[in-house]
Each structure stands twice: as structure tokens, then as C-alpha cells.
Chain A
């Protein structure tokens, strides 16, 4: 096999350059190996084969069981509508905001608030949003009884609704910041200001100019992030547990319920559901791609018609309003968590608790501290490992003149374009056979699969943009390649390295399924516990856990942002531009 051949080559070739030269290959093996093996390990039980629990022969019985499950058709429909709706809505808001507001001060403000919004895990936002929108939630309380007449929580399904509206809203809150960041990065690469100057000088309004001259160039750059959002929205489990319907849930939640059932025979239809999810995601991406082709043909006609666009005051208001709504809801979600976690008695229509207390935090402190430690350890190991691998790959690229291909980028996105369920069960089967399931190492490795793409993507651009003549100067001064790497390149890149570490940590801290599967249910992090508790009824406890889950990555992010200016306080050449 390729991996063992590679390992052999590493053993017999101890030259220092050899390891570095192998770094990209090694990373791909570490990274794609488990995914491929995990996919196979999910596909076999989907067709009835898993000898460990008595599946000795290939059969279609799991599929029959899946198709005959009560409410399967509704689950399928909900999965597709919520996935497409969340993606289209998120992309729509981002495009609207960029087109309408790219030349305003609001745009720069959005850039500054983006990172903390990204660092907040999905589950925390989803739980906070549920506390806002639920029948007894903050919104109903603020409107009652003076506007609604409610003195008791109304019998309305404002969250966990069967149409999945709350689920879509919860997803949009997290996907808008992600897509906006991807768009801002792409805007830097396509020299948008120059394109806009050309369009404006030809008489186009700001919004029409952006849509016609900038967006067609930017979209190909954000295509993979959009597909990642689509794949994620179709297959997400934690957000769907918190905000989606309980009966006829999404396909992902259905599979997860079966995987965690006492009846092991349900693993077969669960695997079939996971595999179906992978097929659905592939088809959905293909469908989206076709939609792109049709829209781009129509769009070209629209562009070539030459309309210059009008004043666009209403458009600007809509763009700014949509983004402000997303930011406000995210912030409000965190604030309502804070309030609930410190609430004393709090009867329904009252907008505020009658007293504040730290009792909830005190009661949970021991378990919180334990989960906090586990989350921090796993996050630190996964993000440091990912940063090290990414740095080695980028250094190998630099030193040996390796040109990364477009296909390499697709490989990097592979874990983000596949439903997690589709390979995590198979991976767990492998971990069990290797006797490492339920260990911290297994969880770190599973997290690495999702941390590495984000870390690599955030580090690659600044690294490739580094002034290569600095390294050449160091070489001409007699510094060898490794000395140059450690004493010139790493210090100069301190800021992007720390930023990438913080992103990696946030990604790790937010992982639900990988922790559950690789940890075999024995490793509890803030995320797994917050999602598990969210099914219960003690709002104060749920709020404390969800808030702790949100605060840890924010804390790491704050440190990563504050450290470089402190380290370089006497180095004006490395100050933020």
C-alpha cells in the first residue's frame, strides 16, 4: 500500500530534507486515508455487512428498513428543503450585503465583527436562538402580555417546527459569517477596487457595478465554500437536534438516533441513511452547479444589456438590514444564554428574571471544569497538529517549488464536502478494531480531519504572499534552510500562524459528531454535553453549558489576536497595516 511504502521510504532515508519533501504526501495520507476507509466502513454495513454484529452477507435489507421507516419521506423532504433554503438564503444575504454596502463604513465594521462570530460554535448559537424564539423565549416575553395578550407560553411550534424554519434560521446565523469571510478573502484576490473603479467610471451604480463586474469574478473563488455550506446544511446533526423537528427529523438526526440506539441491528439502516446522505449531498452539489450554469447564462445577458442601475437606497437598507439582523440575533443569542445561566426565578411573561444568582454555575462547576479541560486539550492538540502539518506542507512547497494544483484544493475540501456521518461510523469501526476508540488520540485525529482544511486555507495565502527575498537574504547571509524557517519565516508569520491556530481551535471545540463517534461516548466535551443537555428541560443548566462552549473559543481567539501586537509592540514593520 502507498502508506507503508511511504513509511519505509521515510525510515531508510533519514536525510533531513526527505521528511519535508514527503510532508504533503504524508499529510494527504493522514488526512484522506481515514476518510476513504471510513466511507468504506459505512458503505459495507449499509448493505448488511458487519460481521461483528452478525451481518455476514451483503443484502438490501438495510435499505428496505430505511425506506419503510415511519416518516421517511417527510424526513427526506425536510432534509432537502432546509439544506437548500439555508444555503440559498445565506449566500443571498452575503451577496446582497456586498453589492449594496461594499463602499460604506458598515462594510469595514462587518469585517471587524466577523471573526468572533465565526469562532462561536454552531451548537451555542442554535441553543441561544432557541431560547430567543421558543414559545416561552425572549421574543415572546418582550411582546407579552401587552401586545399578544399571552400570560402563558402559547401553543405554537416556533422552534422544532415540522417545516424546519427554525433550523434554517439557526443555520443562516452561522453560515452568513463564514460565506462573508470567504467572499472578503476572494475580494482581496481579484483586485475588486480596480474593477469597481472601471465600472463606476462607465456610469454604473455601486450595486449594479458590483453585481456585474465583481461578483462574476468572485463567485468562482467562493464556489467551494458555498458547496461546503450546502453539504453542511444538508447533513448537520447538532443544530438539527436543537432546532429541527423531533418527529420526522432530518435524515442526519434519524441516522444518529439509530446509531445511538440500544438495538445494534439499527446500525444497518443507520449506515444506509448515512450513505444516502452522501449521495444526496453529491447530487445536491451537482444540481447547484447546474443552477450556476443557467444563472450565469442569464446573468451574462443581463450584464450585456448594459443597465447602469439606479440610486439603490432601498437596496442598501435591505443589505445592511439583513446583515445587521444576523449579527444582532447572534449577539442576542449569546446574551440570552448569559441571562438564563444566571437567572433566579423567572416566570413566563416577565422579560427579566426576578433575581440573579450564580447557583447554576456553582452547581455545574465541577463537571464544567472537567469538560472544559477535555475540550481545551483536544482543541490545542488538533490545532497545533494541523498548524504543524500545514507549515511543513507550505515550507515544502516553498523549498522544492511544488505548485499545488486545483485538484489538491478539492482534496483539501473533501472532509467539508462529505457528510460527517458518511465516514465517521466506518472510522469508529476501524478505531474499535485498532483498539484506540474512546481515546483522546482518536478524537484528536478525527478532529484533525476538519481542522486541517480551515487551518491550511487560512495560512496558505499569507504564507504564499510572504516576501520571498527575506528568505533569500537570510540564505545569502549564510543561514541554512531550517534556520531561515525558524528564525525568519516563523516570526514574520506569527500573526497568521496564531490566527490559524485560533480558527483551528474554534473548529475543534465546535465538533459534535466526531467527538461522539471517535470518543465512543466516553469523552465529554462542552459541545457534546451542551447538545445532549439541550433535549432536557433545565434552561439554566443548558444555558451555562452552551455559554461555556461559546466562551472557550472566543477566549482563544482573543489571546491569538492580542499576542502579536504585544510581541511586536516595538516592531513597526510588523504592525497591522
Chain B
């Protein structure tokens, strides 16, 4: 099966169960939104999916990308990209250096440079290759972070509250920027957020994490408020 699949996922801290059992399939080119209050374990679920879950958590279940089980692979071999609320651009590298960091080493020479130039053009950042990331605006940095993730040629994309830090005016533009590119590349996207507008903008299936760690399926853009446990 193509796309991202999560089977029988359970997360906990010590003896305490945090989340699950959860089964989830995100087909290629679709966006599934997972909503829930803070502390419900949404971000930990994404960390587990991409293989960077902190050692203090316990987890069981399986993650498959395009039908291949990647649960046993370390994070850097899974080819699952992730975007966070903070852009996490490497402060010691230029904008171009950050993009090059994402690009696989098999892309060489002039092609490497061309791919970086194309990515910058796509992000409306032509000529920014030598800039210090710290001198960019929040929206520009967020676009660089997405391009860096896409240049790594992921087979699935995770979004961890990716628009929370942006100004309200920028948010809708950035949502469209991210979702358009993910759809164009046919990536399965799993997004966690507590902003109902993110879910509405994504337009795909919406799941609500409810108290006790189980999941309820909601309508796209539907009543999110009643899913928040008291």
C-alpha cells in the first residue's frame, strides 16, 4: 500500500498510557489532521513516527511508508520529513548551506547547485543562498525550512503545529504554500495542530484525540470544540 500507515500505535510514559491504540492510513497526496489539546501526546506520536522519540517514552506498534515497515530503522534512514513550529534552521550554515544539508549526497556538482537555485526560486527567495538565516523574516525562514525538508526527498511529511509561530496574516499563505507543494509531490501528510483553521485549510480527514488516548473521526472542518476533554 502506498502512503503512510500507522498500525496499532501505543505510547506511554512508564506505566501510564498516553495514547492509542491508534490505526491510521494517509494515502499519497492527502493530508490527515490530528487534533487534540496540548499534552495529549500528538507531538510525541510524530516523534515516534519519524524515529526521534525521547528514551523516556515507551512505544509499540508499526510505521510503514509505501508498504515498507520502517519501525526498526533509525530516524535518518526512514525518509520521513518533519516540520516544527520553530524552523530549526542550522544557525552556522547559510540559507544555501541549510538547503544543501537536506539534499542527498548522490546529487552532485552542477545539478546540486541547480536544485538549490530551483528550491529558492520556488520559495520566492531568489538570490538568498548566501544569506545568514538569522537575517530572514519569520515567513521566509519557514519557507526555507520546508524547502530543506523537501530537498531531502522524503516519502512522507509530518507537520508538528507548523504555523503556530507565524503572524495570523502570514498563516494562510504559508498553509497554502506547504499544502500545494506536498500535493504536487504526492506526499502523504500527517499534521498535528490545535488550530481548527489549519484543519479546515488542509481539507482532508480530521481526527480528534480524546481523553484517555483514543481517537474519534470528525468531519472536515467540523465541530472541533467538543473534542476537547474537560
Query: Do A and B bind?
Result: yes
Q: For the complex formed, measure the closest distance between the CB of B155 and the CB atoms of chain A, giving whole angstroms.
A: 11
Given A475-B51, A477-B149, answer yes or no on A571-B76 (Cβ-Cβ < 8 Å): no
| Contact present for B52 and A487 (CB under 8 Å) | no
| Contact present for B88 and A574 (CB under 8 Å) | no
The secondary-structure label for the interface of chain A is: helix
| Contact present for B90 and A478 (CB under 8 Å) | no
Q: Look across to chain A and name the residue whose beta carbon is closest to the beta carbon of B85.
A: A469
For chain B, the bracket of interface size reads 20 to 34
Q: For the complex formed, measure the closest distance between the CB of A560 and the CB atoms of chain B, giving whole angstroms.
A: 17
Q: For the complex formed, measure the closest distance between the CB of A63 and the CB atoms of chain B, giving whole angstroms.
A: 52
Given A479-B101, A572-B135, answer yes or no on A488-B81 (Cβ-Cβ < 8 Å): no
Interface residue? A216 (CB, 8 A): no
Q: Look across to chain A and name the residue whose beta carbon is closest to the beta carbon of B133.
A: A573
Interface residue? A476 (CB, 8 A): yes
Interface residue? B228 (CB, 8 A): no
In the complex, per-residue mask of A383-408: 1 if CB is within 8 Å of any chain B CB, else 0: 00000000000000000110000000
Partner of A470, one of B55, B82, B90: B90
Q: Look across to chain A and name the residue whose beta carbon is closest to the beta carbon of B130.
A: A570
Partner of B91, one of A472, A475, A573: A573
Partner of B148, one of A475, A477, A480, A573: A477
Interface residue? B134 (CB, 8 A): yes
Residues of A within 8 A of B75 (CB): 472, 475-476
> How many residue pairs bridge A and B at CB < 8 Å?
85
| Contact present for B84 and A478 (CB under 8 Å) | no
Residues of B within 8 A of A476 (CB): 50, 52, 75-76, 80-82, 149, 152, 154
Interface residue? B92 (CB, 8 A): yes
| Contact present for A491 and B92 (CB under 8 Å) | yes
Partner of A573, one of B84, B104, B132, B149: B132
Interface residue? B79 (CB, 8 A): yes
Partner of A571, one of B81, B91, B154: B91
Residues of B within 8 A of A475 (CB): 50-52, 74-76
**Bound-state Cα–Cα, A574 to B50, Å:** 28
Q: Look across to chain A and name the residue whose beta carbon is closest to the beta carbon of B97.
A: A487
Residues of A within 8 A of B154 (CB): 476
| Contact present for B84 and A473 (CB under 8 Å) | yes
Partner of A477, one of B54, B74, B102, B132: B102
| Contact present for A571 and B104 (CB under 8 Å) | no
Q: For the complex formed, measure the closest distance between the CB of A360 and the CB atoms of chain B, giving whole angstroms.
A: 46
| Contact present for B92 and A571 (CB under 8 Å) | yes
Interface residue? A361 (CB, 8 A): no
Within 8 A of B (CB), among A546-577: 568, 570-574
| Contact present for A492 and B92 (CB under 8 Å) | yes
In the complex, per-residue mask of A452-467: 1 if CB is within 8 Å of any chain B CB, else 0: 0000000000000001
Within 8 A of A (CB), among B22-77: 47, 50-52, 54-56, 74-77
| Contact present for A472 and B52 (CB under 8 Å) | yes
A: residues with CB less than 8 A from B are 400-401, 467, 469-470, 472-481, 484, 487-488, 491-492, 494, 568, 570-574
The 3 closest A-B pairs by CB, nearest first: A573-B91, A401-B55, A572-B134
B: residues with CB less than 8 A from A are 47, 50-52, 54-56, 74-77, 79-82, 84, 86, 88-92, 94, 101-102, 104, 132-135, 148-149, 152, 154
> Could you pull out 22 A-B pairs where Cβ atoms are within 8 angstroms?
A469-B84, A470-B88, A472-B75, A473-B88, A474-B90, A475-B74, A475-B76, A476-B52, A476-B76, A476-B82, A476-B152, A477-B76, A477-B81, A477-B149, A478-B76, A491-B90, A494-B92, A571-B134, A573-B89, A573-B91, A574-B91, A574-B92
